[in-house]
A and B are shown apart, each in its own frame.
Chain A
Amino acid sequence: MPAVAETLDVVQSATDAGYKWGFSTDIEMDLAPKGLNEDIIRLISERKEEPAWMLAWRLKAYAKWLQMEEPDWSSVKHPPIDYQALHYYAAPKKKAGPKSLDEVDPELLRMYEKLGIPLKERAILAGVEIPEGERPPVAIDAVFDSVSVATTFRDTLAKSGVIFCPISEAVREHPELVKQYLGSVIPAGDNYFAALNSAVFTDGSFVFIPKGVRCPMELSTYFRINAQNTGQFERTLIIAEAGAYVSYLEGCTAPQRDENQLHAAVVELVLMDDATIKYSTVQNWYPGDAEGRGGIYNFVTKRAACRGARSKVSWTQVETGSAITWKYPSCILLGDESVGEFNSVAVTTNYQQADTGTKMIHIGRNTRSTIVSKGISAGRSNNTYRGQVKVMPKAHGARNHTQCDSLLIGDQCGAHTVPYIESRNPTAKLEHEATTSKIADDQLFYCRQRGLSAEDAVGLIVNGFCKEVLKELPMEFAVEAQKLLAVSLEGSVG
């Protein structure tokens, strides 16, 4: 039997054994009634103990959303979403609200343990180096359905002036910052899903790095959808003042359920002069089973505004999960010499659909952007890169380089590339390259001759194909992502 065909067989038989994060957790929940209307929004706002201006902002967004239509320009197909059949608020029931980690429901802590997310703060002693082989500390905000259940290392961060907290708390504690920046990069009416999120967002992370501060540790938010028939609408806002630096990681999983669940997040990044944000995502929402049943609909709007000169934003994403992925982390390169990077690996198997890419809008002088996109399609999936590079008339000396490569595994899947390249400045230089290929038979044979199983060989070659992107991830995340790639392909490809 030809090696590739055999690989595919292995794939088919393995079905969804690969999704290890599919368990659900039995937690007593506080659930809003199904459906979306002004009362639900009032209820969310009330539960979050929000000031009046926040409720007004939400209601305005809701009014906009009512006027809008679901976009249909992407390649993804799905049955109509019944927005009235969802819960818009689900939170673990709590007595008084945990003041410290000790008060968090032990069931929850166990779940995060199971997911490999340590919610315990290991003591870090000043001047003591981390022993080799041990992970450096990462501050984590854990968001469970609609609420943040724990945020670690807050005190350590506060010492250097960094604010890292649930956004619901920032609304109460830092209203001036939230008022100034929320919706300033992605206005409530930007698109259908952003409007929905603006109306009903429940939690997410808020990060503020003051002027000149290099955030002393990696920040990470871990999103978990648990409740049934619940939408997750998180909102993240990161502000890096002049000269600030932060590396932020985002991970997501969800239980295996037969029905589709909606996830519509908004992430806004604001960068002042010389600020740098590295934003890394490993997206592993439940992708649905081998027949395409269930899985998360992941409609995400992510955008960075490089307002300051020489500011730099770098989006790195490894997308293996979700039944549908619709996301285009973008960079508005406003500041002179600002830099935008987009590095993406998207793997689709079974019946998954991914339509993902970026927008690089060059407005300032000598702005630079690079795009590296690696799409891997297997099973009966469809994987689309959709990206825009736009050079405005004043963007003298703008530069872009785009490389998009697609790898097809099997002949029942699709790989698509849809770049928009628009330039209105003659001094701009744009380059775009795209290739499509499959794993060559001789590569597979070479590996097997050296003793690797067909599955391992596919995993190795795929990891090699993605290396350029994986090396952009922080160390521990890269290792995790590599394993995730192998597991995704094991479970549904090779």
Chain B
Amino acid sequence: MSAIQPNALQLATTGFLARFEGNSGLRTDPIRRRAAETLRHIGLPTQREEAWHFTSLRPLAGIAFQGVHTTHDHGHDLLARMSGISGPRLVFVNGRHDTAVSEMPDFTTVGEPTLNEPDDAVSMLNTMFADDGAHIEIPPGVDAESILLVSLGVADGEPVAFHPRHRIQLHPGARLTLIDVSLGRGTYLNNPVFDIEVAEGATLVHLRLQDDATDAFHLSSVRANIAARGTYDSFALTLGARLARMEVHANLAGEHGAAHLNAAQLLGGVQHADFTTVVAHDAPSCASRQTVKNVLTGKSRGVFQGRIEVARIAQKTDGYQMNQALLLSPDAEIDSKPQLQIYADDVKCSHGATVGELDLDQLFYLRSRGISEPDARAILVRAFLAEALDPITHDQTRALMENAIEAWWQGRHI
């Protein structure tokens, strides 16, 4: 374990608390107040905490994040990448809804969120400051097709921090594909929280592309409650940010629910990205599937932590988790902690992990067939990622993801 400097983190915590106290609109709200008090007490997590063993928030310490202010740059040009995605869209610039470039979807309102009380520091930070977000509520039995939710971070001067809070509710039998994209430039902290309710028989497909600016910080949390026969089917592609942590908590609360938490992290330079999941099987006969891939170049560090929790009541649980990492440079690092925590006996749970470089025999085989080495590498990396990407059935998003991977591959610095 690396050395711990709680002082740096205390400094960062104090910075956020000072900004909070300076905002009379926020500090009087009792829920925000309680979140701030708790955060003051516990502080931002240190690596001493088991859940943050591999990820340090210390890089946040030196930066004086400002609250949202009007920037000259609205970053609208960044939306060009989204041209292939049709349908309604919600655009947030620095956490604020931007009506000029949004196309309001049905069943959606935007504005100050309803807050609930979180139990982890990163979500508490969001709770203290969250003043805007989307509330999407799909009525029973309705197939709402897709909604594009774009977060643009644009810091053209001082570093900014924004904390959108989105609430996605699917009533029984409803369906929605939520395409959730973060882009930006400059130094900023993107700290969104998604509160998700999937009612009986409903299906939410959550496709996420995190391509935040190279100097940005991305700390997101998803809390999904899944009722009987409901499905939360997510894929997250992480390409951006210098320090990123995506945390997903899926709670399977009714029988025959399903959660798929697939992800791919493609990192280079000195990037650090952490994908942390907790799947709580709290009802019988639910299934969870996770396929998580890391491709690491440069001095990057990829982290995967996945915990499957099976409660006593959750008999007939089917839990599966696979995480694999390709290390493409001598200085890259992968840290992986796939955990099983099981209290029911009639379950089928397994996990697997592999770490290694590209298979030299395969590489040679491709080259012996006349394929250049760079092309052969590209083919093998694509093949490695395929398993995680395959479940994406939304064609436009699939194309968006593949283009993003292609661009990453072309622009990577090994």
Contacts and interface: CB of A to CB of B under 8 A. Distances in A.
User: Do the two chains belong together in a single complex?
Assistant: yes
Interface of A: 73, 391, 393, 406, 408-438
B355 A416 contact: no
Contact of B350 (A408, A418, A426, A433): A433
A155 to B, nearest CB: 48
Contacts of B259: none
Given A421-B336, A425-B327, 13 more contacts: A391-B355, A408-B342, A411-B343, A416-B340, A421-B334, A426-B327, A426-B357, A430-B353, A432-B353, A433-B350, A434-B350, A434-B351, A434-B352
9 contacts: A408-B342, A417-B340, A420-B53, A421-B338, A422-B333, A423-B355, A424-B331, A433-B350, A434-B340
A129 B325 CA distance: 54
A406 B325 CA distance: 25
A410 B339 CA distance: 21
A413 B328 CA distance: 42
Contacts of B349: 435-436
A353 B193 CA distance: 37
Contacts, number: 114
Contacts of B328: 426
B312 A73 contact: no
B315 A411 contact: yes
Interface string B304-328: 0000000010010000000001011
Is chain B's interface secondary structure helix, strand, loop, or mixed overall? strand
B354 A411 contact: no
B174 interface: no
B62 interface: no
B207 interface: no
Contacts of B352: 431-434
A411 B345 contact: yes
Interface in B331-384: 331-357
A425 B357 CA distance: 9
A408 B355 contact: no
Given A73-B50, A408-B345, A438-B346, A430 B340 contact: no
Contacts of B346: 411, 438
Range, interface on chain B:
35 or more
Most buried by A among B50, B337, B353: B353
A494 to B, nearest CB: 13
Given A414-B341, A416-B340, A421 B357 contact: no
Contacts of A421: 334-338, 353, 355
B329 interface: yes
Interface string B51-76: 00110000000000000000000000
A332 to B, nearest CB: 16
A424 B333 contact: yes
A415 B342 contact: yes
A393 B330 contact: yes
Contacts of B331: 393, 424
A435 B327 CA distance: 26
Nearest to A416: B341
Counting from the closest, the 7 A-B pairs by CB-CB distance are A426-B327, A408-B345, A432-B353, A430-B355, A417-B340, A429-B356, A421-B336
Nearest to B337: A420
Contacts of B336: 419-422
B355 A428 contact: yes
A426 B351 CA distance: 22
Interface of B: 50, 53-54, 312, 315, 325, 327-357
Given A423-B333, A428-B356, A431-B354, A416 B342 contact: yes
Given A421-B355, A422-B334, A435-B350, A411 B340 contact: no
B338 A432 contact: yes
A438 B317 CA distance: 12
A409 B346 CA distance: 9
Contacts of A391: 355
Contact of A416 (B334, B339, B350): B339
Contact of A414 (B335, B343, B351): B343
A430 B335 CA distance: 12
A416 B347 CA distance: 13
Contacts of B348: 436-437
A160 to B, nearest CB: 43
B344 A419 contact: no
B328 to A, nearest CB: 7
A430 B312 CA distance: 32
Contacts of A408: 342, 344-345, 347
B335 A426 contact: no
Contacts of B325: 423
B341 A423 contact: no
Contacts of A423: 325, 327, 333-334, 355
A425 B346 CA distance: 39
A327 B54 CA distance: 23
B354 A409 contact: no
A237 to B, nearest CB: 27
Nearest to B335: A422
Given A410-B345, A411-B315, A425-B330, A434 B357 contact: no
B312 A411 contact: yes
Nearest to B325: A423
B81 to A, nearest CB: 31
Nearest to B348: A437
A431 B340 CA distance: 17
Contacts of A422: 54, 333-336
A430 B348 CA distance: 23
Contacts of A416: 339-342
A421 B336 CA distance: 5
Nearest to B338: A419
B338 A430 contact: no
B198 to A, nearest CB: 26
Nearest to B353: A432
Given A426-B328, A431-B353, A436 B335 contact: no
Nearest to A439: B345
A430 B326 CA distance: 11
Contacts of A432: 338, 351-354
B320 to A, nearest CB: 10
Nearest to A435: B350
Contacts of B357: 426-427
Nearest to B346: A438
Contacts of A433: 350-352
Nearest to B329: A426
A422 B336 CA distance: 6
Contacts of B337: 418-421
Nearest to A418: B339
A428 B335 CA distance: 13
